[in-house]
Structure 1
Amino acid sequence: MHDYIFILGNAHDLCREELVGVLKTLGFDFSIQKLYPPQCVQVTVTQPLPEEALIERLGGTVKIAEIIAPTSSLDPQDLIATIRKKRTTWPKTFGLSAFTDKKLPLPKIAAVQKKVLEAEGVATRYVLPREGQELRSIVVQKQAVTEFLIIENNADFIIAETKEVQNSEDWGKRDYDRPFVDPGIGMLPPKVARMLVNIAVAAISYQSSAIRQEKLGQNSSKGFTILDPFCGMGTVVAEALMIGTHVVASDIAAEMVNKSRKNIEWLKSAYPKTQDLESRFLVSDAVHVSDQLKKNTMDAVVTEPFMGALFEKKGAQLYQKNKLVTLSHIKNTIKGLEKLFIGCFKNWYQVLKPEGVIVITLPEITIAHHTIFVKSVIDNCEKLGYTPVIGPLTYARPEAVVRRQVYVFKKIFNS
């Protein structure tokens, strides 16, 4: 058996759902266990994981580490002995990160380790976190640091060695280097878009076992087609292409469709692996997109729909377009969104394949200690022809007015 630690991003439940989905999609025999620090999970597999390919595939995993051993002692010399159970040589540059509520004396531990090792004739240097107790991924990557993790696990600790870290520069490239970017429209971050696409691929239950068993580097999403009917700048579309699916992108605004097309042209130039994948662009409102598509042709709809006008927070008050927002106004907004989403679900049923899925972010708005949600969409989903299979999984910044709630709905097919 092989034991790993996955360090997840901020939306722990969403990140964990993506991880489980990808491992299932790729045919791994595994078990997963939550650890005390909420961003850490332990994965046990029957065969070694392709860490480099996995970190590239996953949007919600920050680091992948291989477990060395459990320990009850954080004495520096004991830690050296523990690490040497898996390593025959000590790295030239090592770093320490801790995942625990306890404030560990990382500088003291590292300094003593360096002194002990130098007494043995081992030349080494160490790097420590500037803030908190975790080294940033870019530091590990850029400074070629061999990072050792100290993870709280009940009364003991798990010691692990980081094998791969998320390439923040590559993610930033797709976010900021593309021709068209507009943070003012409330765009979905690429990492979240990737998580939604991965969850969609995992949820398509009728994918063949041959596809599931393909190696990660050989395009495990081959043959799928994903529709984003609120494509905006094309973030979901781009991340779907990055994992190997064909895409259809539509939006009610011709300007958005054109910007999405230009962004995807840039993507295909920057990432050659996406060049042979089909990408279609349509100008259509999301409630009538089936007018331009054949029935039962989409494997999944993956989208962040229109969530209402953006809010501006001024102290304790909310404004939209410089107008004060009241609770009554929010309730009316939610009713309008419910009507829109129900219309969308009815229309998308026509283009989804049997047992196709919808992966969607639905808005939850908080104002004056009241939380309002598009509840009727969930309540009526079975009447619309869907079964909810995953959700809600929350993605939101701490002070966000609108919180994204991720749901997965599977089409109920009546033959």
Structure 2
Amino acid sequence: MQINEVTTISILGRQPALGIAELESLYGPNNVEVFGKQSCLITIAHDEIDFNRLGGSVRLAKILSELPNDWNSIEKYLIEKCPQFANYAQDKLSFGISVYGVNVSPKKLANTALQVKKAIKSSGHSVRMVPHKALELGSATVIHNKLTNGNNWELLIVSNGEKTFLAQTTNIQDIEAYTARDQARPFRDAKVGMLPPKLAQIIINLSVGNIGQKFNVNGPNLDQTAQLSGIDVASSVLVLDPFCGTGVVLQEAMLMDYDIYGTDLEPRMVQYSIDNLNWLDSRYPNLGDYRRIEVGDATKHTWSNPQSISNVACETYLGKPLSTLPPGDQLSKIMQEVNTLHHKFLENIGKQINSGTRLCLAIPTWRGKHEFLHLKVLDFLSDLGYNRVKFEHVRNEDLIYHREGQVVGRELLVLTRS
């Protein structure tokens, strides 16, 4: 990738590998380049990226210029150039600065921001600086101060140690929007696991694959959930979740304007999904053209018109909830039971879906004393008629969603039917 082709930078979430795979899946490996520990360069313009469908990126920014690598030179550049850019602002300007990968202290950053403020003010422009307590402004701070709106700026200084870029944030993850469509849902069940909407988005995006460039056509007055539901992505795509639970994956797929098909072994879960999606309809009408939700055991269910299924996206059965790692024999029994279920499921669905159909399954992985323990079925994927997708910018073994202290994590398994 040539530097002059790069127009956009993405700041990745807590587990960068998931965000990297998501961007590569949606926009292709040639349009994405890993940049440092927490960001990706993208050759697609920021306004042609559907940011609100991304679960693994917390910020999106347009690149303004390349910077020197040392902080003193960066500070000098900002003091010289920011007053010039401020002249384009018609009203009072608010700004803040976030730094990624640059060797500078929060105290020094705060002092630089103050010097930039003074330089802008001395040029005759009204300006307000958002206070800095750390190297990164929190998402809530950026949203509250409207730093992605109108005349305001959040400036990003991002480095990989060899190159440094100055960028302006155009989009930021709205945590409140995620919370509103997660915790406010009428039916949730901690016993079957609480799939975060952001992870559900990643699972869907990995299952859908390359979508190319899409335009976000809605105005800035809508919250991010409403903006997401307004994006026109191919509504002919039918996403199947064979383990739909309370409907988180189905919900997020609907918000991407996909048609949905959900099944679950438990009638109670099926009803939860139906009720939760009815609730979603009441908040965001006109979602999707087709939905079907029914009781079905994923290991032996026959789906209706399976040839119409475009993609499979789901969190499978994760096994017995565990607060501590059990003794070896107990863990082996748990893993064997879960492995058998996955083997039967892959056999069953493989007989029904078209060759080339893409799947992303969030399957269990157990945190051992020194490493993650994986299902044995992963060694027999080709025998079952599947190819595991290989990413150029991230290793498959890094595609694990896991929190500190958790025994059971989620391994994202991306497959295509042979």
Q: CA contact under 8 A between 1:4 and 1:43: conserved in structure 2? A: yes
Amino acid in the other structure paired with 2:61: A
Partner Cα separation in structure 2 for residue 164 and residue 212 of structure 1: 19
Higher relative contact order (CA 8 A, sep 6+): 2
Give the 5 Å matches for 1:189-338.
Answer: 189-202=196-209, 215=215, 217=217, 219-274=232-287, 276-290=288-302, 292-313=303-324, 318=325, 325-338=326-339
Kindly indicate whether residue 34 of structure 2 is the aligned counterpart of residue 5 of structure 1.
Answer: no
Give the 5 Å matches for 1:168-207.
Answer: 168-202=175-209
Partner Cα separation in structure 2 for residue 231 and residue 31 of structure 1: 33
Partner Cα separation in structure 2 for residue 215 and residue 120 of structure 1: 37
Q: CA contact under 8 A between 1:96 and 1:128: conserved in structure 2? A: no
Q: Which of 47, 64, 71 is the aligned partner of 1:68?
A: 64
Partner Cα separation in structure 1 for residue 180 and residue 201 of structure 2: 14
SS at match of 1:403: strand
1:398 is displaced (CA, Å) by 2.7
1:185-238 CA distances to partner (integer Å, 9 max, x unpaired)? 3221101101111121116xxxxxxx8576565522321111111111100111
Kindly indicate whether residue 382 of structure 2 is the aligned counterpart of residue 382 of structure 1.
Answer: yes
1:294 is displaced (CA, Å) by 3.0
Q: Which of 48, 51, 58 is the aligned partner of 1:55?
A: 51
Q: CA contact under 8 A between 2:82 and 2:120: conserved in structure 1? A: no
Unaligned runs of 5+ in 1: 204-210, 319-324
- In the alignment of these two chains, the number of paired residues is 383
Give the TM-score normalised by the residue count of structure 1.
0.85
1:310-360 CA distances to partner (integer Å, 9 max, x unpaired)? 1124xxxx4xxxxxx211111111111111001000111133123112210
Two-structure CA RMSD over aligned residues (Å): 2.3
Partner Cα separation in structure 1 for residue 88 and residue 172 of structure 2: 22
Partner Cα separation in structure 2 for residue 370 and residue 35 of structure 1: 27
Partner Cα separation in structure 2 for residue 362 and residue 142 of structure 1: 37
Give the TM-score normalised by the residue count of structure 2.
0.85
Partner Cα separation in structure 2 for residue 189 and residue 374 of structure 1: 23
Unaligned runs of 5+ in 2: 148-152, 218-230, 391-395
Q: Which of 125, 136, 139 is the aligned partner of 2:138?
A: 136
SS at match of 2:140: helix
Partner Cα separation in structure 1 for residue 77 and residue 128 of structure 2: 18
Match of 1:18 in 2: 22
1:108 is displaced (CA, Å) by 0.7
Q: CA contact under 8 A between 1:68 and 1:86: conserved in structure 2? A: no
Give the 5 Å matches for 1:108-127.
Answer: 108-127=111-130
1:350-378 CA distances to partner (integer Å, 9 max, x unpaired)? 33123112210122112344642102x12
Partner Cα separation in structure 2 for residue 4 and residue 404 of structure 1: 30
> For structure 1, which segment, 86-95 or 341-350, has the greater mean C-alpha deviation from structure 2 after superposition?
86-95
Question: Residues 144 and 212 (structure 1 numbering): CA distance in 2 closer, same or farther, change over 3 Å?
Answer: closer
1:54-75 CA distances to partner (integer Å, 9 max, x unpaired)? 2212121111111111222534
Partner Cα separation in structure 1 for residue 35 and residue 286 of structure 2: 36
Partner Cα separation in structure 2 for residue 285 and residue 304 of structure 1: 14
Percentage of identical aligned residues: 27
Question: Residues 214 and 64 (structure 1 numbering): CA distance in 2 closer, same or farther, change over 3 Å?
Answer: closer
Amino acid in the other structure paired with 1:339: T
> For structure 1, which segment, 325-334 or 101-110, has the greater mean C-alpha deviation from structure 2 after superposition?
101-110
Q: CA contact under 8 A between 1:226 and 1:245: conserved in structure 2? A: yes
Partner Cα separation in structure 2 for residue 405 and residue 84 of structure 1: 48
Amino acid in the other structure paired with 1:328: D
Higher strand share: 1
SS at match of 1:169: helix
Partner Cα separation in structure 2 for residue 264 and residue 138 of structure 1: 28
Amino acid in the other structure paired with 1:154: G
